[in-house]
Structure 1
Amino acid sequence: MDIHIVSPNDYRQIHQLRDYCFPNKYTGARREDFHYWIEQSTTLGAYDHKKIVGQLLILPLNMTVHGVPYKMGGIGFVATYPEYRQQGIIKRLMIEALQKMRDNGQTISVLAPFSVSFYRHFGWELFFEKLHYTIPQAQFPSFGKQLDIVKRMSFEWVEPELFKEIKDFHNIMAILQNGGMVRDDAWWKRIERRSPDSHFAAYFQADKIEGYIRYTIQQGTFVIQDFIVANYLAEQAIWRYITSHAASVDQITGVTSNHYPFGFYFKEPQFKREVIQDVMVRVVDVAAFMQRYPWRDITETLTIRIDDPFCHWNEHVYQINKNGQVSIIETNSVSDKHMLTLPINLFSAMMVGYLSVKEAVVYANQSTVEKTLQRWQRALPTEKPAFYEYF
């Protein structure tokens, strides 16, 4: 079995493997979209002679961590034919993917797991709790009557100037949002191919866009796909726009972050909610990641040991000085109780803000002195991450 980047001559085999292993066969625009990302990604194949029997795509994406942009590898379309399973093919693909991401400068990675325990074994960890909500018509929020300036378009009837304002606004907000992903034109094209019936409504204040939603209306359900606002006034205006559809829809569905006090100001906030954890994160290159990290307040030198059996380049003891500079030191120069010792999955979840320092240490079953914990707590930003993209 040989693992290497798939040549264009074998892209047809990637389509065949995807269509066999995933529940819905791609046709039309979806097939076109998938082919585009085969070409743009680092597409790895496991070859049995000339036949591709396993595959993995590393999409060239991005992610904001506490205000700092990072190159991110989006892992997707991981599959093997059933007759080749239980042979370690996916393991070899994952190990090769980690090396390729490091070579590409993708210091962080995100994926949607088919099994949390499987990907946790390779160093990924859950990092975002999505709140799926369903609001019946009787509980639609009411924020009074007001004449709001709302401009509307759809993928079918695009308003070029409005669409540019929406895209620019989205990316500004993505940079401000911990965990946000800046969308380039290729990603917007992907969204259009996957949801060609999407509509947009943008709220303006003093000729400046302050919020927008992307949505569809399906069989009496108003489905919110994006809900991005700059402030509470914009949020109210967007809800007024949504509820203006009350005569033609029976319910509203959408997704938000579980750490956000969603619906707090609604008159009737007791509607159906479900928390889903379906994305995982991993730091691929610890040294490169920490060199760019926006440390908050380092009062004394910080020390951490990383355990990462699948990325030998990460298995070191690191020191971070007061200026945020990172260096690798000898393991016997610091007492174990005066430094953190974390596996890569818990380190990743902690650094993006999902786990607190104390939670990471508890789950790692490590003994660390209280002063060391306090130093790390002061040094790390605390904003929770939110990640809504699909790939």
Structure 2
Amino acid sequence: MGQQDVQERLEMKKLGMEHLAQFNELLRYVFQVTNQDLQEVGWEEDEIEQAKRPVLRKADVVGWFDGDKLVSQMAVYPMQVNIFGEIYKMGGVTGVGTYPEYANFGLMHRLMRQSLKEMRDREQTISYLYPYSIPYYRRKGWEIISDVMTFSIKDTQLPENVPVSGMVERLDIEHEDVLKTYNRFAQNQHVAMIRDSLAWEEYWRWEREEMIAAVYYDEAGEPQGFMYYWIADDIFHMKEMVYLTREARHGLWNFISAHFSMVTHVKGKLYTSEPIAFLMEDSDITETIHPYYMARIVDVEGFFKKYPFLEKQADFHFVVTDSLLEWNQGIFHFQWDADGNVSIGKEAHGEAVEIDIQTLTTMFFGYKRPKYLRKIGRIMANDTTIKQLEKMIPNETPYFSDYF
């Protein structure tokens, strides 16, 4: 039996709750999740299947079937993120996998194209994913848009206490003040997830046992920051720290330093490319920055209609290449009316900026600046146009701490 015979009987269709067992089985095979792995992180053998019910219940899942057998799949969560103060609908890609005997049939390529088309129909003009292979997803149009920094600090390197007027309280991780503080943070933080119940559910899917929330309250009793942490084997582990004010940051670090006699190290994650060593009195600490999430512009025209440009610069046009989506291919020229509303023209005006969809994404997300991208050969444009792009795009550090 040849590949052509197999391909002729394959059918792409939506997954429903009746496919839950197959969906779970494919995920566990592709990512080689064993029962021992699940038990080590506190899961019972049948809990993983129960945990994936929300994916099929709340996500848009498309797969290939060989008869009644699911052989390839891709799920998209309906989510929202903050892009320079504008709230965008985002399609969160997860649950991607194909059995190896069906590899090299082009199945995932067609699933991606179908899923991206459906995202566009739902006005999800951008898509996020966690890359298990950065080169693979780059070829499909995604690009890196955020970092995660891991750090390790010895107890003797913890910062000195900074006087603050408020105090920290230890609370349940789902306390209303924690959720309220994160929501205020996300509404003002570029690239951050606007967490609804689904996003919070995914955030806690793999780690919540023994986790504690430390919330900083100012003098007026208002929550201004929080941190998720746990202590194990004489190590203070920080999952995430969020603060709205400098005072809250000092208050939370004061709380960490108060554990001096209890721990030998503080280890944690910060979802930014900005090192913290400079903020420490003893800056000789270990910091490691890794690429974290990737994004893709699903619909160039729809994305730019909401984009908060810093300045209007309409005397050039983009020539965009997108090997997967034909509606993103070609010329895009910005035109503003008297009220500041932008429309996208398809005729060439002024100088050309030659760019692919992944570079366009990382540039307008602010992860890499136009001048740098031109320097490394990712943009073809003259000096004047690069300066115009620098003026158009806000300059803020992306922050994304979720996982799905």
TM-score (norm 2): 0.89
Aligned equivalent of 2:149, options 131, 141, 156: 131
The question of 1:297 aligning with 2:306 is answered no
Residue 44 of structure 1, CA deviation? 1.4
Residue 326 of structure 1, CA deviation? 2.2
Q: 1:129 to 1:154 in 2, by over 3 A?
A: same
Q: Which residue does the alignment assign to 1:184?
A: 196
Aligned equivalent of 1:328, options 345, 361, 367: 345
Aligned equivalent of 1:97, options 101, 115, 135: 115
Q: Is the 8 A contact 1:140 1:243 kept in 2?
A: yes
Residue 257 of structure 1, CA deviation? 4.1
Aligned equivalent of 1:78, options 80, 96, 113: 96
The question of 1:88 aligning with 2:103 is answered no
The question of 1:201 aligning with 2:214 is answered yes
Aligned equivalent of 1:370, options 380, 383, 389: 383
Aligned equivalent of 1:345, options 358, 361, 371: 358
Q: Which residue does the alignment assign to 1:21?
A: 30
Residue 164 of structure 1, CA deviation? 1.3
Q: Which residue does the alignment assign to 2:183?
A: 171
Q: Which residue does the alignment assign to 2:75?
A: 57
- Deviation string 1:64-123 (CA, Å, 9 cap, x unpaired) is 111111111111121111222222222122212211211221111111112111110010
Q: Which residue does the alignment assign to 1:11?
A: 20
Aligned equivalent of 1:267, options 257, 263, 281: 281
Q: 1:4 to 1:19 in 2, by over 3 A?
A: same
CA distance, structure 2, for counterparts of residue 148 and residue 381 of structure 1 = 33
CA distance, structure 1, for counterparts of residue 328 and residue 222 of structure 2 = 45
Displaced runs of 4 or more, over 6 A? none
Q: Is the 8 A contact 2:273 2:289 kept in 1?
A: no
- Deviation string 1:262-295 (CA, Å, 9 cap, x unpaired) is 1323111211111111321111011000000001
Residue 247 of structure 1, CA deviation? 2.4
The question of 1:118 aligning with 2:136 is answered yes
Residue 342 of structure 1, CA deviation? 0.8
The code of the aligned residue for 1:167 comes to L
CA distance, structure 2, for counterparts of residue 261 and residue 114 of structure 1 = 25
TM-score (norm 1): 0.91
Q: Helix, strand or coil for the counterpart of 1:233?
A: helix
User: Counterparts of 1:252-291 in structure 2 under 5 Å?
Assistant: 252-291=266-305
CA distance, structure 2, for counterparts of residue 210 and residue 263 of structure 1 = 23
Q: Which residue does the alignment assign to 2:237?
A: 223
CA distance, structure 2, for counterparts of residue 95 and residue 48 of structure 1 = 20
CA distance, structure 2, for counterparts of residue 182 and residue 220 of structure 1 = 34
The code of the aligned residue for 2:384 comes to K
After the TM superposition, which of the residue ranges 250-259 and 41-50 deviates more from structure 2?
A: 250-259
CA distance, structure 1, for counterparts of residue 128 and residue 159 of structure 2 = 34
Residue 364 of structure 1, CA deviation? 4.6
Q: 1:299 to 1:72 in 2, by over 3 A?
A: closer
The code of the aligned residue for 2:256 comes to I
Q: Helix, strand or coil for the counterpart of 1:289?
A: helix
The code of the aligned residue for 1:210 comes to Q
The question of 1:212 aligning with 2:226 is answered yes
Percent identical residues:
25
Q: Unmatched 5+ residue regions in structure 1?
A: none
Q: 1:367 to 1:302 in 2, by over 3 A?
A: closer
Aligned residues: 381
The question of 1:238 aligning with 2:255 is answered no
RMSD: 2.0
